[in-house]
Amino acid sequence: MTTDTPVLPVTESALARAGMTPDPRLREIMTSLIGHLHAFVTEVKLTPDEWTAAISFLTRTGHACTDLRQEFILLSDTLGVSVLVDEMANPKPPPATPSSVLGPFYTHDAPEIAHGDTIARSGKGELTYVRGTVRDMQGKPIPGALVEAWETDGEGTYDTQYAVREAPDYRGYLHTGPDGRYAFYAVKPVSYSVPTDGPVGEMLRAAGRLSMRPAHLHLKVSAAGYEPLTTSAYTAGDPYIDADAVYGVKPELIRTYEPYKPEAHGALDPAPQWVLDFDIVLPAA
């Protein structure tokens, strides 16, 4: 609370009760939460109708959540909280690959694919070959690292957003080889709007904010003895690269998709339209 914010009796009482919380960390969190929340209510002179509207908004946000849709993660993302929490929890010293937001579309049912197989089974989009090497901070390859990937189709839609989802698509996982390398087919990502048919969409429209995310491919990478990483490859030149609705873009994660040329990229079958090189560096745990 700022020094010029009056402390009302109810605030003093709430802080005193929070101060009796047995667990030290929970006590710290609850005391700070109550202090900042009461200061916010006091500063903006929140009305009963506005507080009721806020409770209704949070209730509807919960109702919008399903096994395949997480409206609260989307809310956290669009408020910049997800990136803030991630940056504080996962500082990545160079040359480690920076992290990015997980987003609300990660699922636990992605299929395992073989090296060089595809995550885009229905093939909506421009065929792209994604490849890279997972290394440690000294440049040594990390064999057996788990690489999970997911993305939208070429129409900017995740498989979980379709009314009928017969099986997971545009997502999969594989392990790096003895040389630390991984490779798979995908489609070239496209920019898309975050879901706006729920409470978060209402909030964005009321605030006059864009709902767009720049084109990107999600990756989660983990290996025994190393810090896990959630990151993304953002497409250079995307019109929304500087206006990401969830604040996930970092300059170090912007990548260029190169037109496929056999003489430059080697013979690939099937021949893709694009090639993306995305090396990953993991710090030791």
In a domain, 4, yes or no: no
The CATH number given to whatever domain includes residue 225 is: 2.60.130.10
Write the CB contacts of 78 (distance below 8 Å, at least 6 apart in sequence). 194, 200, 203, 204, 209, 245, 246
Tell me, yes or no, whether 2 lies in a domain.
no
Of residues 277 and 5, more confidence is placed in 277
> pLDDT tens digit string along 219-261?
999 999 999 999 999 999 999 999 999 999 999 999 999 999 9
3 domain-assigned? no
Domain termination site, one of 50, 67, 84: 67
- Number of helices (H) and strands (E) in the chain: give both, helices first: 7, 12
Of the three residues 67, 88, 117, the one that is the final residue of a domain is 67
- Are 136 and 197 in the same domain? yes
| Exposed/middle/buried for residue 245 (C-beta within 10 Å: 0-12, 13-18, 19+) | buried
pLDDT-derived band at 57 (thresholds 50, 70, 90) equals very high
- Domain span including residue 62: 9-67
Degrees (nearest 5) of the Cα angle 279, 109, 100? 35
The tally of domains found in the chain comes to 2
Same domain, residue pair 86 and 216 = yes
Instruction: Among 46, 67, 88, give the residue marking a domain's end.
Output: 67
Q: Verify that 34 and 110 share a domain, yes or no.
A: no
Do residue 220 and residue 91 come from a single domain?
yes
Average the pLDDT over 9-31 and give the result. Answer: 97
Q: How many Cβ atoms are within 10 Å of 77's Cβ, its own excluded?
A: 24
Statement to judge: residues 178 and 273 lie in one domain:
yes
| Partners of 216 in beta bridges | 234
Output the pTM of the full model.
0.89
170 shares its domain with 62: no
141 in the same domain as 62 = no
Pair (133, 92) in one structural domain:
yes
Residues 6+ apart with CB under 8 A from 121: 167, 169, 170
Residues 56 and 81 in one domain: no
- Beta-ladder partners of 25: none
User: For 115-161, what is each residue's pLDDT tens digit?
Assistant: 999 999 999 999 999 999 999 999 999 999 999 999 999 999 999 99
User: 90: pLDDT confidence band, cut at 50, 70 and 90?
Assistant: confident
Residue 1: inside a domain: no
Q: In a 3-state reduction of DSSP, which class is residue 229?
A: strand
